[in-house]
Amino acid sequence: MPPLGFSVVARDRGSRARRGVLGTAHGSVETPAFMPVGTKASVTGLLPDEVKSLGAEMVLANTYHLMLRPGPELFRRVGGLHAFMGWSGPVLTDSGGFQIFSLPGDRAISEEGARFTSYVDGRAWLLSPEASIDMQGALRSDVMMVLDDCIQATSDEPVARAAMERTHRWALRSLAARRDPAQGLFAIVQGSLVRELRRESAAFLTAHPFDGFAIGGLAVGEARERREEITAFTAELLPEERPRYLMGVGTPPDLLFAMGCGIDLFDCVLPTRLAWQGIAFTSTGRVRLTRGAHRDSDDALDAACACATCLRFSRAYLHHLMKASEPLGPRLLSVHNLHHYLELMRRAREAITAGDYAAFARARLLELDRHEHDEDATGTLGEKQARRSRLAAPSARGPRHELVCTSSGAVAMKSLVEGEVMHPGVGPLVEAEHLYVRQSRLAERLSSAAAGTTVVVYDVGLGAGSNALGAWSASEAAPASAARLELISFEQDVGALELALRHPEDFGWTGARAAAARALLAEGAHATARTTWRLERGDALSALARDLVPADVIFWDPFSARANPALWTIAAFAVARERARPGCTLLTYSASTAVRVALLLGGWAVGVGEATGRKAATTAAAVSAGDLVRPLDPGWLARLSRPDVPWPADAPLDALERLAALPQFARSLPSDPSLGSS
């Protein structure tokens, strides 16, 4: 085996992120790299060829588990782990230190090592630094780890110091026990959350000839902010010319932050472990497929993803597999989750090479954090319980609507007639701001329009008024030189707005907002120096068919196709298209395939919109495809050949052929449409 090699080939301009190549006897690894975890010589549920096809170059295996079963003698006989598991690429093996840490009631730590009882057969074992290296030698891994004394990250300083110093002594014993210098050996920097201990640990270990250095003892009980602080601090203490490995950390935001600190290698069980719990990582945050909201959804798991799972299967199918306990469900989610992680790493490497990783990471972190950390879920548990009690009081009820409290503590409006909740999950303020006002770039439109002109917004589905008041607020906050806003709301039943005005504090409305909404209800219109807002009551389609001033932005937010089918047809979107100015965009909460088809056949270019609440994506449409951030592509079109895909009620028989002929889809369908595109 040739010795381990590492070289840095590119550095980012705005961060410490770097791109490198790790050379091993079983091939090179482009870094930053994520290693899928094959704990027991298997990335759970997936074939080695599948793992490789997803883009993985290196996997991790677990010394502790493989030592107990099948044991070192078998690996010596077959020539190591690669031949045993059918994986030809590089392998990193951990030392077993974390597994010993995870057995607090069944192990005893001493200077000699860790004594514990096997969960396989009840035998007593001693895992010493020498025994760990001997086992990793039998596995013939490309990178071995020293045995460390792993403790809770929040341990106090005396406990942390004792564990750190033992880790140092064990590291030197591990180094002395190595028999094949071609097997790389990484030391592990410990010290819990104490900066000076981390500094001391790094200084001690980097003075010895280890092939790389890991940051251990994180993601074991500490807050994210503290984990990021220690990661950034410790990374700067490690040598530039050696690979750096952040052990067991974890989520896409964790990886994005750590890459910016100059970390090269990562591993985590989350992509596969959470897949078996029905949880998927998507471009806009996590999705739990076991929830009832996905039962009838024909949407792809992640419209922005090109993995085999997203190209071929609907959320409804994945939900069914998980509920039916079919093993195919976790397998498909594992394929998606690993693709998501490995694609994130690939794009990060490209961004580093281009020198713009810092901007790339900021954009991805902003998008992920916005959807994984609900802005309405603030306050203490007592405050949330008090809010739920107040909303449940009889005074909060109206004849056709009621206020409800979501699981996050956000206030939302429910129709007692339709049974639907407006802005479910995230609450009206968050959805109105992110999905409609910000995504439409309304503030920029107002500021960039020529002086004396008017920007027109159609608000189809006034509801409780949150979207309209979000637009109204953006206009009122615009500079004096900005264009005026003409806001036209369409609604049949104003009961939701009437109820909201009895509880304006629950919707975050200031006195001026509430006054504008009250004037709209009383007079049918309200005007300020900057904004004109009027209400079109009655059937929205009939109102849209009248000679209205053309729109620059359309908020399409009526009840769903189940409750209000007429507003989700090709005919309805064609009417809206006739009222659209060049440059107009239409935004809606639905990501339904049928809705997207209706928009396309109604004359719109269609793309993936911002996520909201439990929805991993929504829909953005525009007069011009050039105004879309993420237009639908031929891969999305290919999925329409599946027999289970629903179509709009007024779809023509040749709908698929018409869609394929649209300029948005520049190339033809694959020869076998059921395969999608890859």
Yes or no: say if 544 and 490 are a contact pair by the CB < 8 Å rule.
yes
Active site residue 94: yes
For 48-59, the three-class secondary structure string (H helix, E strand, C coil) is HHHHHHCCCCCE
Structure tokens at 282: 């998507």
Q: Are strands 18-24 and 5-11 parallel, antiparallel or unpaired?
A: antiparallel
Could you please report the per-residue DSSP string of 25-77?
TTEEEEESEEE-EETTSS-TT--HHHHHHTT---EEEEHHHHHHTT-HHHHHH
Q: How far apart are CA 418 and CA 343, in angstroms?
A: 41
Structure tokens at 351: 């961004």
Of residues 142, 211, 264, 267, which has the active-site annotation? 267
Going from the C-alpha of 136 to that of each of 87, 116, 127, 143, the distances in angstroms are 16, 19, 12, 9
Task: Give me the torsion for CA of 519, 520, 523, 528, rounded to 10°.
Answer: 70
Residues with Cβ within 8 Å of residue 44, at least 6 apart in sequence: 272, 273, 276, 330, 334
Going from the C-alpha of 575 to that of each of 104, 310, 493, 552, the distances in angstroms are 67, 32, 22, 15
Q: How far apart are CA 167 and CA 160, in angstroms?
A: 10
Running DSSP on this structure, what letter comes out for residue 464?
A: T
Yes or no: say if 329 and 321 are a contact pair by the CB < 8 Å rule.
yes
Of 206, 200, 275, 304, the closest CA to residue 619 belongs to 304
- Helix (H) or strand (E) holding 522, with range, is helix 511-523
Q: How far apart are CA 367 and CA 97, in angstroms?
A: 35
Other C-beta atoms within 10 Å of 433: how many?
Answer: 18
Q: How far apart are CA 257 and CA 244, in angstroms?
A: 14
Q: What's the count of helices (H) and strands (E) in the chain, helices before strands?
A: 26, 28
Residue 51, amino acid? V
Active site residue 267: yes
Of residues 94, 264, 459, 557, which has the active-site annotation? 94
Other C-beta atoms within 10 Å of 338: how many?
Answer: 24
Yes or no: say if 391 and 405 are a contact pair by the CB < 8 Å rule.
yes
- Cβ burial, residue 104 (10 Å; 0-12/13-18/19+): exposed
Residue 390 CB-half CA count within 13 A? 12
Other C-beta atoms within 10 Å of 579: how many?
Answer: 18
Yes or no: say if 35 and 58 are a contact pair by the CB < 8 Å rule.
yes
Yes or no: say if 319 and 329 are a contact pair by the CB < 8 Å rule.
no
> How many residues would you count in the chain?
678
Q: How far apart are CA 631 and CA 606, in angstroms?
A: 6
Q: How far apart are CA 246 and CA 260, in angstroms?
A: 12
Of 377, 189, 299, 350, the closest CA to residue 596 belongs to 299
Q: Which long-range contacts (CB under 8 A, 24 or more apart) does 289-297 make?
A: 289/315, 289/318, 289/319, 289/322, 289/329, 289/333, 290/319, 290/322, 290/323, 291/319, 291/614, 293/614, 294/318, 294/319, 295/319, 295/320, 297/592
Q: Could you give the residue numbers annotated as active site? A: 94, 267
